[in-house]
Every structure is written in C-alpha cells, then in structure tokens.
Structure 1
Amino acid sequence: MRIYVKNMVCHRCILAVEQILQKLNYTVVDIQLGKVEIQEQLDDKALEQLRQQVEAIGFELLDDKERQLVAQIKSLLIRLLQSEHWTLETPLSSYLAEQVNRDYLYLTQLFSQIESTTIEQYFIQLKIERVKELLTYGELTLKEITFRLNYSSVAHLSAQFKKITGMTPTAFKQVMPHHRTQIDLL
C-alpha cells in the first residue's frame, strides 16, 4: 500500500516515519520524502491510527490525489536542492512533468491553487532557505554556494536573496540564527 505523507523534508523525517511504521508492525517496502510503501493493506481503523501517530510528530497523511501530487512536487524540489551539485539537463518544468508523468501546465495550475504560490516561487523560497542554511554553516563562500545551487552569478543570488529576505547575504550572516524558516513550513 502506498501512503503519502506531508512535511517529510529530510532524512530524519524519513527515520521518524519509519519508526512509527515499525512500531505499528508494518513492513516498509520503500520510504522516500513524502511517500511510503508498506506491504500491508490498511483498513480505515489502522489508517486512522497511523494518521494520529504521524500527526503527533508534525506530519500529515494525504488522502486527496491532488494534494499527493503537490506533495510529490515539493519532495522532488527538496531532493533536488539537497543534492551536492545539481544541474538539470532540461528546464525545471520539463523535469517535474517527466518525474510525475503529467503536463506541466496542469501541475503549475494545481500547485498554485493548493499552495497559493507558483512552483517557481516555491522553488526560489526553497533555494533561499538552502542559501541561509549554507551561510549559517560558514563552510562555503558565497561563490561556492552560487555554484552549488546553480545560480548564474553571485550578483543574481544576492539580488534574489535580498528580494526575498530584505537583506543581503552578508547582513544575514551577521544576524543569521534568527531568520531561518523550516522547509516544511514553506
């Protein structure tokens, strides 16, 4: 049985959901950001028990096919940003359409309807949060972050960063611990 879980944004999220499933004695066949495959078929009572368990730690089961698709898009974008050095051979729109096997126009309309923002704006928000994370670690220069996140230039990254956050990356570094947003809240 395939189950979609909202707000799974990192490896720890996967581990937390996997622990719940194991505690409930379900056999996990596959688990990824936002999607779990278990061997068992759950009846309504078992599904409700699972729902309560995952909601207790900040996740949400998605029953609606459209919301599942939006969660899948979000997971794809998050995974893309978490890779060490990512580049796309095709535009983001083509990548997403291919990954979920749907027309991009449908995806963008659905995403905007459910999330009240476009896929592109959501992706920019994710990228900025990733920039904040990398700046906080202090291990990479702004130029290295620019390369890692596939920006065309430091100036482009800085302009986008300032537009979203209201401050430059340098100013952020001076006040950084107080201005990060959890990815699952985007």
Structure 2
Amino acid sequence: MKLYIKYMVSLRCKILVKQELEKLGLTHTSIELGMIEILENINDQQKRLLKRNLALSGLELLDNKKNILIDRIKNVIIEMIHYADAVPKVNYSEYISEKLGYDYTYLSNMFSEVKGVTIQHFIIKHKIERVKELILYDQLSLTEISYKLHYSSVAHLSNQFKKVTGQSPSFYKKIGQQRKNNLENL
C-alpha cells in the first residue's frame, strides 16, 4: 500500500517517517521523498495516529488524489534538481511525464490550477535556488554550474538568475562572501 506525505523533502523527513511507521508496527518496503510503501493495509486508527504524529513534525499525510499528484510532481522536480547527480538531459516535460506515468499536459494543467504557477516556473525557481547553493559552496565556477544544470549558456543562467532574484550571480556571490567574513570576525 502506498501513502503520500506532503513536505517530506529531506533525509531527516525520511528518518522521521520511518520512526513513526515503526511505532505503529508497520513495515515499509520503500521510503522516497513524498511517498512510502508499506506491506500491510493501514487501519483507520493507525492512519489517524500516523496523520497526527506526522503533523506534529510539520508533515501531512495526503488523502486527496489531486493533492497527492501535485505533491508527487513537486517531489520529482525537487529530487531532479536538488538531489540528482546531474539534471536529466531530456526535456523536463518528458522526464516528469515518464516518472509519474501521466500525460504532461494533464499534469501541467492540474499543477497550474492548484498551485497558481506553471510547472516551468516552479522548475526555474528551484534551479535558481540550486544555483544559489552552488555559488555559496564556491566549488564550481559559473560555467560549471550552468553546465551542471543544463543552461544553454552562462548568459542564460545569469539572465534568469537576475530576473528571479534581482541580483547578478557575481553580486550574490560577493554578498555571500561578505556575510561569511562578517561571521568569522565576530
């Protein structure tokens, strides 16, 4: 049986969910971002307890099929951009459609209807957040970052970064360095 959990976006969340399942005597076969698979059928009391305990940690057990699908779309995107070694080289629409087993137009329309933003815009926001992380880690050049995240050029990355953040990547890096220096001098 598959259960879907909203806001489950990190390793810490996975560990927390695993602990809650163990408390209820439920055996999991897999735990992924936003989804767990358990061997047993969950009864109403176990479901209520799991829902309550997860809520105490900021997680939400999803029941509504539309919300489940939206959360799955978000998790595929988050995993693709933040946790994969490399962003897929195929078109994002193909990747998402293939991962979820639905037509992309259907997914896109539902996502826009529920979230009020397109999947493409959601992807861009997450790519820029990833760029910010990589800039602050200071291990890759902007050229390497643009290549890693499959931007067509450094100029494209820079333009998109400035459009979303209002700053150039180099200015963002400079501010990050200043903050780091200020903290070291305390």
Both proteins in one fold, TM over 0.5:
yes
Q: For 1:119-140, what per-residue CA distance to the aligned partner results, in whole angstroms no more than 9, with x for missing partners?
A: 0000001101111111121111
1:86 corresponds to: 87
- After TM superposition, list the pairs within 5 Å mapping 1:8-23 onto structure 2: 8-23=8-23
Letter paired with 1:109: N
Compute the displacement of 1:156 (Å).
0.6
- Alpha-carbon separation, structure 2, partners of 1:153 and 1:39: 47
- Alpha-carbon separation, structure 1, partners of 2:176 and 2:161: 13
Compute the displacement of 1:153 (Å).
0.8
- Alpha-carbon separation, structure 2, partners of 1:51 and 1:173: 41
Matched, 1:25 2:25: yes
2:143 corresponds to: 143
- Alpha-carbon separation, structure 2, partners of 1:12 and 1:175: 29
- Alpha-carbon separation, structure 1, partners of 2:138 and 2:24: 41
Q: For 1:16-44, what per-residue CA distance to the aligned partner results, in whole angstroms no more than 9, with x for missing partners?
A: 21122223321111110110011221222
Give secondary structure in 1 for the equivalent of 2:31.
strand
- Alpha-carbon separation, structure 2, partners of 1:46 and 1:176: 46
Compute the displacement of 1:86 (Å).
2.6
- Alpha-carbon separation, structure 1, partners of 2:174 and 2:16: 33
Between Structure 1 and Structure 2, how many residues are aligned? 176
**In structure 2, do the counterparts of structure 1 residues 174 and 29 end up closer, same or farther at CA, with 3 Å as the change threshold?**
same
TM-score, scaled relative to structure 1:
0.88
1:6 corresponds to: 6
1:133 corresponds to: 133
Q: Tell me, which stretches of 5 or more residues in structure 1 are unaligned? A: 178-186
Runs of 4+ in structure 1 deviating by more than 6 angstroms, as ranges, are none
1:173 corresponds to: 173
- After TM superposition, list the pairs within 5 Å mapping 1:82-121 onto structure 2: 82-89=83-90, 91-121=91-121
TM-score, scaled relative to structure 2:
0.88
RMSD: 1.5
- Alpha-carbon separation, structure 1, partners of 2:133 and 2:127: 10
Q: Tell me, which stretches of 5 or more residues in structure 2 are unaligned? A: 178-186
Higher RCO by CA contacts (8 Å cutoff, separation 6 or greater): 1
1:180 corresponds to: none
1:68 corresponds to: 68
Give secondary structure in 1 for the equivalent of 2:159.
helix
